[in-house]
Amino acid sequence: MKALDRKLLRDLLRLWAQVAAIALVMAAGVMTLVLAVGAQRSLFETREAYYERNAFADIFATATRAPNRLGDEIAALPGVASVETRITQNAILDIEGMAEPASGMLVSVPDDGEQVLNRLYLRLGRLPAPGHPDEVVVNEPFANAHGFVPGDTFGAVINGRKRDLTIVGVALSPEFIYVVTDLMPDDRRLGLVWMSQTALSAAFDLDGAFNAISVKLLRGQSPDVVIDEIDRLLEPYGGRGAHDREDQQSHAFLDSELNQLQAMSYVLPPIFLLVAGFLVNMILSRLIALEREQIGLMKAVGYTGAAVAWHYLKLVIVIALLGVLVGASAGTLLGRGLTRLYGDFFHFPFLIFRAGVDIYLIAIVVSVSAAMLGALRSVRAAAALPPAVAMRPPAPARYRQLLPDGVPLLSLLPQTTVMIGRNIVRRPLRALFTSFGMSLSVAMLVGTLFALDSVDEMIDVTFFGAERQHATLSFVHKLPAEALYEAERLPGVLAAEPARMVAARFRNGHLERRLAITGKPGDSTLSRLLDVEGHEVTMPDEGVVLTTALAGILDVGRGDTVEVELMEEHRETVLLPVSAVVESYIGLGAYMDMDALNRLMREAPSISAVHVIADASRIDELYDAVKNLPLVGSITLQRAAVEKFRETMAENLIMMVTIYVGLAGIIAFGVVYNGARIQLSEQGRELASLRVLGFTRGEVSWILLGEFALLTLLALPMGWLLGYLMAYSTAEGLATELFRLPLVIQRSTYGWASVVVLVASALSALIVRRRIDRLDLIEVLKTRE
Amino acid sequence: MSDGPIYTIEGITKVYRTGEVEVHALRGVDLTIDAGEFIVLLGPSGSGKSTLVNILGGLDTVTDGKVFFRDEEITAFGDGELTKYRRDHVGFVFQFYNLVPSLTARENVSLVTEIAHDPMDPGEALEIAGLPADRHNHFPAQLSGGEQQRVAIARAIAKKPEVLLCDEPTGALDSKTGIRVLEALAQVNRELDTTVLVITHNMAVGRMADRVIHFADGSVARIEQNEKREAPASIAW
């Protein structure tokens, strides 16, 4: 080993604590990068492979009743590779030992068991046999939640008839990786039930017909043209508009998860690398200042400026590589862990881990670059230092009066405080960056933990402000308005309110969205409309009310006109004025006065769902009654879902908070520890002199740590502001048509973020304090700096 | 001279252990120093004089023996008591001044007067130490070596300490500047009745002392009592 490399090694060992602190900050950056990209890619690849192997369709469409020959016509469309016609319906399931009714989604499989598209991944048993109409396959999560195995039975109300179904198989499906019942997935409450085509067509009087179709496109075929053609073909048969994968619930939700991981890989690593670069800059400029004479000597004996520069660059490269090593290992491990968690959550039948070599190369390149950029200035200075100048002591530091002479304020301050002020003023950039580095730590906490406040707000607004019903009973098809009275008479129902849903397509120029118009009575009190401020909006008698998200997508506002194509029975296109815009964080919504909607449909008052408030003490009676109501297709239990959602949130909360507190702590600790160590190296002699003069350990520590206390305090408001901006862009970035996060940051979130950073700073200060306590008082008297 | 002994030193030894090597810095020193005395410690490097002064100043501990400051055994003090002892009773002047670079001359003195019981005004201390008034608001980097040492002396005397311990106060100065610094020390001893101990390599400085204590190999080799103290100005080197 060359002598210089040996020096390098010893420098690294001597500076181990600071090297470790910087490498840790780098490691955190690399870890988040590898973790997020690794998990994102693995999940993406897993999903793609799953789709490919099980022939997940590209286009989905539903109709009321379409003759089977239409399937052949659609199959013959240019660009279409294959189609599968199906029957899908909702049903209420009655499961032994479960008080509340479960919701079932019935999906047909071809009688011959040869699924062309959306093929089931059978985990247990077999597909239903022809001629056995009560044989079903259920999805694995549902089976697991109830301990079902082939041979078990459960009850279902299918098109008004109570039937006992026998499980013959347990399966997974690429089409239903993520399914929502009430608010989030609930394996217990939602069952996917695959039955033979013959059985379902008999049950729903759909002989020779289908009500759903899946289409696989030829490779490279754009879906838009085919969607238009399918819509045209299905229109006479109650077609509700075809859509591609983007609008398929399971696919869209997975996309949003993948986007979140991607966002994480864009936002977090740069923060750590920025801080690490700054720390490298601080430590290296101090090291070079201390080794000034050695640099002079090296040059005097003939080392070139470039050799000196390379020597110091090697030091920071080693630090960066240490960070990459730790970060990449942790990231790979945690990435696999996270992928497994997601895998379990989504019930993927298999997992493909794929981080990719490139991400490790990227990690190395960006980490080393960040370190080298941080080192650039001081290394350049070292390379340029003429040996004769280097051998002389550096020019003394220049200090300036904080205020002009004679200003009395200064004379009131103790000199120890004046020292703090002058140190900050002497190196304003360093002070600024130290403060900025810590503020990033605060910002990271505010910018991530705000999500908890926002979700709380979302729940409050959605379920305690707008949708205040405890449950919603949706009918298999629309019913006369009188059905409401029957619902009111159900046991345990305290209040009931009707709703009418009509499938529609909204258009403004080339902008369009497919969604149901929800008709509500003008005086509704359960399901209410709220404006952006959370105030109740009275349903206007005329016109349509849009949610802000939908209004944004269609680029319309109050007073504008929007084209609405009604997609049930009397299909026609009408122009409706936008009479109000309301806030909603979940999905897209369009609302009308129920009477106005009925008039528009030119039909007798009818309803498609009833919202109810239930007496909690009689809820089981209500559940029992619902299980035997022939016309209820599904039941949504909002209130129960909110409770469950909060529980799940609370579980995830601990992990999420731990991770982000740890990461933010690493930044705050790294910045304060390194800063204080360097300051101690610069001021150690001064502080020891003061100890000799009779200053106590506490007083001397204050001079050094007081500066960091001040910079930490300055960092807090800066961090709150940056955190707000981060939260803002996160909320914007994560907004999808499925859900949006309202930007809400509680004071307590700012408070906790500040506490974490204060504690991390205090801890690192305490460690440095121990070094101040051990200052050598005698050595200092003997040496000139 | 007055008040009896300010320091009573009883058989102190000091052994430093560095790795496997033992260095006997002091090998049993007995000494009495009277209040108000001006003492010069002479001897080659490593003879133990700095170790003694560090122990007297409460900066270092003994391996064996006792040191009394008046009636108090400072060798029995803990860190907190030693800090208080230094703060209340001892002034230090170092070879390299050890001023705080971020504080002006006056502020460097204020630094100490702020924590002292009955200090003099920083300006007065600087005047006694001989720093011209127009230099009081200069930072150390703007002062010459001699001026910096005067600030250090002013800082040491401003709290009116009973003892002034000076380790090579002229070591980094040219002779002319050195003499001015010595004059300041003599003046402090004379006017404030402060006991002064000065470590030096310079034999000539001994002529301004009441007593000259010669150190060799960790022990007191001999003690010279001067009949008459010479003025620093008459000392040349």
- The ipTM is 0.88
Please write the tens of the pLDDT for every residue from A547-583: 999 999 999 999 999 999 988 777 789 999 999 999 9
pLDDT of A405 reads 59
Residue B90 to residue A693: CA distance in whole angstroms:
8
CA dihedral sign, ordered A215, A220, A223, A229: negative
SS3 readout for A62-117: EEEEEECHHHHHHHCCCCEEEEEEECEEEEEEECCCCCCCEEEEEEEECCCCCCCC
Which position has the higher pLDDT, A184 or B119? B119
Residue among B62, B98, B117 with most chain A CBs within 10 A, to mutate = B98
Residue B68 lies in a domain: no
pLDDT of A230 reads 95
Q: Is A129 exposed, middle or buried (0-12, 13-18, 19+ CB in 10 A)?
A: exposed
User: Is B104 strand, coil or helix?
Assistant: coil
* Closest-CA residue of chain B to A694: B87
pLDDT at A276 > cutoff 60: yes
Residue B160 to residue B117: CA distance in whole angstroms:
9
Q: How confident is the model at residue A97 (pLDDT cuts 50, 70, 90)?
A: confident
pLDDT at B128 > cutoff 90: no
Please list, in sequence order, all residues whose beta carbon lies within 8 angstroms of the beta carbon of residue A178, skipping any fewer than 6 positions away: A185, A249, A250, A253, A254, A346
Q: State whether B172 and A405 contact (CB < 8 Å).
A: no
Q: Are A60 and A214 in contact (CB under 8 A)?
A: yes
Q: Does B112 touch chain A (CB under 8 A)?
A: yes
Which position has the higher pLDDT, A630 or A85? A85
- Bridge partners (DSSP) of residue A67 are A209
Residue B27 to residue B45: CA distance in whole angstroms:
15
* Closest-CA residue of chain B to A696: B83
When divided into structural domains, chain B yields a total of: 1
Encode A400-437: b = buried (16+ Cβ within 10 Å), e = exposed.
Answer: eeeeeeeeeebeeeebbbbbbbbbbeeeeebbebbbbb
Percent of chain A with pLDDT over 70: 98
pLDDT at A197 > cutoff 50: yes
Cα-Cα-Cα-Cα torsion A688, A690, A694, A700, nearest 10 degrees, comes to -80
Q: Which amino acid is at B17?
A: R
Q: Are A191 and A138 in contact (CB under 8 A)?
A: yes
Residue among A405, A683, A689, A699 with most chain B CBs within 10 A, to mutate = A689
Please write the tens of the pLDDT for every residue from B10-58: 999 999 887 788 889 999 999 999 999 999 999 998 899 999 999 999 9
The range of the structural domain enclosing residue B178 comes to 35-59+82-234
Taking the domains of chain A in order of start, what are their residue ranges? 88-205, 427-466+640-785, 471-636
Q: Does A398 touch chain B (CB under 8 A)?
A: yes
What average pLDDT does the structure give for chain B? 90
User: Is A547 strand, coil or helix?
Assistant: strand
Ranked by mean pLDDT, which of A461-470, A717-726, B112-121 comes out on top?
A: A717-726
In Å, what is the CA distance from A52 to each residue of A57, A110, A179? 9, 20, 20
pLDDT of A410 reads 63
* Closest-CA residue of chain B to A698: B80
pLDDT at A372 > cutoff 90: yes
Residue A596 to residue A483: CA distance in whole angstroms:
19
User: Is B227 strand, coil or helix?
Assistant: coil
Q: Does A783 touch chain B (CB under 8 A)?
A: yes
Q: Does B48 touch chain A (CB under 8 A)?
A: no
Mean pLDDT of A265-283: 90
pLDDT of B95 reads 83
Q: State whether A695 and B115 contact (CB < 8 Å).
A: yes
**Residues on chain A touching B172 (C-beta within 8 angstroms):** 784
Q: Are B207 and B235 in contact (CB under 8 A)?
A: yes
Residue B70 lies in a domain: no
pLDDT of B1 reads 45
- Bridge partners (DSSP) of residue A732 are none
Q: Are A668 and A441 in contact (CB under 8 A)?
A: yes
Q: Does A405 touch chain B (CB under 8 A)?
A: yes
pLDDT of A785 reads 54
Which residue of A405, A419, A696 is in closest CB contact with B83?
A696
Residue B101 lies in a domain: yes
* Closest-CA residue of chain A to B60: A778
Q: Does A691 touch chain B (CB under 8 A)?
A: yes
Q: State whether B59 and A778 contact (CB < 8 Å).
A: yes
SS3 readout for B146-189: HHHHHHHHHHHHCCCCCEEEEECCCCCCCHHHHHHHHHHHHHHH
**Residues on chain B touching A783 (C-beta within 8 angstroms):** 96
Residue B42 lies in a domain: yes
Q: State whether B103 and A422 contact (CB < 8 Å).
A: yes
Q: State whether B137 and A699 contact (CB < 8 Å).
A: no
Q: State whether B98 and A399 contact (CB < 8 Å).
A: no
pLDDT of A240 reads 80
What is the biggest distance separating any 2 CA atoms in chain A, rounded to whole angstroms? Answer: 104
Please write the tens of the pLDDT for every residue from A334-354: 999 989 988 988 899 999 988
Closest Cα in chain A, distance from residue B102 (Å)? 6
* Closest-CA residue of chain B to A420: B102
CA neighbours within 13 Å on the CB side: how many for A656? 16
What average pLDDT does the structure give for chain A? 90
Which residue of A418, A697, A778 is in closest CB contact with B103?
A418
- The DSSP letter of residue A301 is T
**DSSP secondary structure string, A636-677?**
E-HHHHHHHHHHHHHHHHHHHHHHHHHHHHHHHHHHHHHHHH
* Closest-CA residue of chain B to A396: B141
Q: State whether B101 and A694 contact (CB < 8 Å).
A: no
Which residue of B107, B115, B167 is in closest CB contact with A781?
B167
pLDDT at A404 > cutoff 70: no
Residue B76 lies in a domain: no
Residue B226 lies in a domain: yes
Please write the tens of the pLDDT for every residue from B41-52: 999 988 999 999
Q: Are A120 and A103 in contact (CB under 8 A)?
A: no
CA dihedral sign, ordered B201, B206, B208, B209: positive
pLDDT at A317 > cutoff 90: yes
Closest Cα in chain A, distance from residue B92 (Å)? 7
Residue A176 to residue A529: CA distance in whole angstroms:
31
* Closest-CA residue of chain B to A400: B102
Which of A39-53, A367-381, A406-420, B94-108 is predicted with the least confidence, judged by mean pLDDT?
Answer: A406-420
Q: Is A465 exposed, middle or buried (0-12, 13-18, 19+ CB in 10 A)?
A: middle
Q: Are B43 and B216 in contact (CB under 8 A)?
A: yes
Please write the tens of the pLDDT for every residue from B187-236: 889 988 999 999 998 888 999 999 999 999 999 999 999 999 988 888 86
* Closest-CA residue of chain B to A686: B100
Q: Which amino acid is at A145?
A: A
Q: State whether A692 and B86 contact (CB < 8 Å).
A: yes
Residue B7 to residue A785: CA distance in whole angstroms:
32
Tokens of A662: 């740890």
Q: How confident is the model at residue A724 (pLDDT cuts 50, 70, 90)?
A: very high
Q: How confident is the model at residue A183 (pLDDT cuts 50, 70, 90)?
A: low
Q: Does A396 touch chain B (CB under 8 A)?
A: yes
* Closest-CA residue of chain A to B55: A778
pLDDT of A324 reads 96
Which spans in A123-211 are helix H? 140-146, 197-203
Q: State whether B60 and A405 contact (CB < 8 Å).
A: no
Q: How confident is the model at residue B123 (pLDDT cuts 50, 70, 90)?
A: very high
Which residue of B59, B79, B102 is in closest CB contact with A423?
B102
Tokens of A288: 């070079």
pLDDT at A717 > cutoff 60: yes
Q: State whether B84 and A692 contact (CB < 8 Å).
A: no
Residue among A403, A415, A697, A701 with most chain B CBs within 10 A, to mutate = A415
Tokens of A217: 């496109």
pLDDT of A7 reads 87
In Å, what is the CA distance from A332 to each residue of A270, A329, A501, A654, B52? 18, 5, 48, 22, 60
Which residue of A423, A692, A784 is in closest CB contact with B59?
A692
pLDDT of A545 reads 96
What CATH number is given to the structural domain containing B214?
A: 3.40.50.300
> Residue B110 is inside which H or E element, if any?
helix B105-113
